[in-house]
Amino acid sequence: MRATPDVVPPSARLVVLVSGGGSNLAALLAAHGNPAWGARVVGVVSDRAGAGGLEIARAAGVATAVVAPADFPDREAWDRGMTQAVDVFDPAWVVTAGFMRILGAPFLDRFAGRIINTHPALLPSFPGAHGVRDALAYGVAVTGCTVHLVDAGVDTGPIVAQRAVDVRPDDDEASLHERIKTVERELLVDVVGRVAREGLTVIGRRARLG
């Protein structure tokens, strides 16, 4: 594992965490080819050696690392390993893009206020792993997606941006989630670029771009 040479402005350096296919990562990589976007993915770290996102990163020439829980004696050691693996890339921001593990205290302390996540619901409603399913079960007419900062809770960090998605009468979980993911990718790319170009100010629970 080797970090990208330091030719990227410090405020633009991104590390992306992935566990799955990497559709959000692919959207970020498509954007980072444009210098006007303002950010650059310098590393991709996964908890799974078989994550599709790793292949997407390698095809784009981005350095990768795998930090698999099975390779560590306990959760605390894995948390330290994740922190060290990401720290190698000296990121300004960490983006969790379909990363399916909760980050522990060592990681949160090291990158406090600099971890960006997306969630397929309009927080604070329907947090957790089943936001789309829970919104459908509740019978809402409008749901959506949220980009927020990560803290020690489950989807409880300050909200940076949100977009709404209408729930159609014939929606099931799969169809609704697919439409949310399309909007989610667009919102994530927009927010990450603006954070890199304009900065982010957080006062209490209020997060403001610029």
Q: Catalytic: 148? A: no
Among the options 32, 119, 148, 177, which is catalytic? 119
As a three-state string, the secondary structure of the chain is: CCCCCCCCCHHHEEEEEECCCCHHHHHHHHHHCCHHHCCEEEEEEECCCCCHHHHHHHHCCCCEEECCHHHCCCHHHHHHHHHHHHHCCCCCEEEECCCCCCCCHHHHHHCCCCEEEEECCCCCCCCCCCHHHHHHHHCCCEEEEEEEECCCCCCCCCEEEEEEEECCCCCCHHHHHHHHHHHHHHHHHHHHHHHHHHCEEEECCEEEEC
**CB contact at 8 A, 194 and 209:** yes
Distance of CA 82 to the CA centre of its chain: 15
Give the Cα-Cα-Cα angle 122, 128, 113 (nearest 5 degrees): 75
| Placement of tokens 């809770």 in the chain | 153
- Give catalytic residue positions: 119
